[in-house]
Structure 1
Amino acid sequence: GKYDLTKMREREIPYLRRYVGVVFQDFKLLPRLTVYENVAYAMEVIEKAPKEIQRKVEEVLTLVNLKHRMTMFPDQLSGGEQQRVAIARAIVNNPAVLIADEPTGNLDPDTSMEIMDILERINQQGTTIVMATHNSQIVNEKKHRVLAIEMGRIVRDQEEGEYGYED
């Protein structure tokens, strides 16, 4: 790619971040902003044009099935809906990579599968998804490349891997 992490200058980091979206287990939504405003904020900070913001926010909220909730606030949403807002915000700037840190960690199994289906769609549109999870059911049902990391070292790398053995 465009950035070599081993040779990168500190002042380049904010530009690299534009190619990376992040989704957290605890959503990290801004409580005083609506669904629409939470997603739009990610575009406003990099100074996108208002017309482009409106078009793109509506597009990603449609992708995560939340366009009908865009005037609501985070505390009016279920956990699964909040996670979908967080995903919409993370992808609104078309990142090359989406990092998802235990994105289903706080969600029930059905909602978790719904989130995984959305991540699957985003992946099919060309975004690389790097997801950390301890959910063996998800890993085993959605066959993708599996890396196992122990003490900072990659100990397993399988194309269509399963979760593997439990300790």
Structure 2
Amino acid sequence: MRQLIPALLLLTLLVPAAAAVEVPVTRAQFVSALWSWAGSPPCAGGQPFSDVPQAAPWLSALCWAAGEGLVRGTGGLLFTPDRPITREEAAILLRRYAARLDRDVSFPEIARCNDFEDISPWADDSLYWATGTGLIGWSEGGRLDPQGTLTQAQLDAILTRFSQ
């Protein structure tokens, strides 16, 4: 029994640390969170993507986002719902939604980042906008980290800032 106590103490210390590691938010989770933040509006159109199951719990969110022109997929009629959303993809969805809400989505003047060459050409204005407005924070070392992913805590913070 004495030998078991140190093992149990070690387990007790390690389990909370392991639980604290956040997994990246998927594309479907991001769209669902944005849809919920918007008040869960009804879906006006059909589901345009071939890789989305009809029984997906986030199908209404995706139909709404597609109907609003927020999501356009990853190519070839695919949405790739289980792939983690990148920071640049999140920035594009946020900027498109901000435009639908008649918010200012003009390109802000921001400091030059150290990794501008990593930003996809289709995402640069949106990532600069999201960072310049403070929705998406800078990464360490003056980087925008366009291919980085978001955690649930980061998504919650983004939506809180988007509300302001």
TM-score category (smaller protein)? 0.3 to 0.5
- TM-score scaled to structure 1, two decimals? 0.35
TM norm structure 2: 0.36
Larger radius of gyration: 2
